[in-house]
Structure 1
Amino acid sequence: MRLRALATTAACGLALLFAAAPSASAAEGRFTYVYNDPSGAPHLGGLVDPPSGVCITLREVEHPWTTPAHSPRNDTDATAVVFSEANCEGDHFSLRPHGGHASERLKVRSVVFS
């Protein structure tokens, strides 16, 4: 009887071990972009070691009445997919890891890293 209880306990422990959620991962490095303040002056914004697999709306340009950010540069170790709208909606474009970038013609409001 003890052997059966021990086996059941061990099986449950292994099931919990394999069912545990994976640890959160992050893209290592920096992602930068240019945004304009209400007066039109340009500023450099950025994310350092952003989480992977999570949509990030750029706070400076999250509202539709603001001018979108532009000139994104991906110096992380993950692919960055940038979106023209908040909440990773609208048109999208992929930037390769370690230096992928785009010109000021690419308008950006959100990003997700793979």
Structure 2
Amino acid sequence: MNTLKTGSILALSVIASACSWVDLNPAAEDVLILKPSQAKQCEQMRRTTSQVMDKIWFVGRNEEKMGEELATLARNTAAESGGNAIMAVSKIAEGKQTFAILNCPHLR
């Protein structure tokens, strides 16, 4: 029975780690995710740090899925701040990532 419980908890954790709980706000749909080479003509307005859970029940989450959620949170913040693009300025560490919120007039 204990093995069954442990297996069930592990299976639920793996399934949950693949799910996304972050929704893109409609206002952020036009906020682009840029690479540094694409942001040369942009003005950095500010920085924001997004954070999501990096583990569920002691099971590490998929880094790609975390990256999508972190970028979605940053896009939402950029839309609220009047930016039209974001660019990651750090790697993901413990569920956190820092982004530059950009104003790119040539992309409007």
Please state which band the TM-score falls in when normalised by the shorter chain: 0.3 to 0.5
TM-score between the two structures when normalised by the length of structure 1: 0.31
Which structure shows the higher strand fraction? 1
TM-score between the two structures when normalised by the length of structure 2: 0.33
Which structure shows the higher helix fraction? 2
- Greater RCO between the two (CA within 8 Å, min separation 6)? 2
Q: Whose Rg is larger?
A: 1
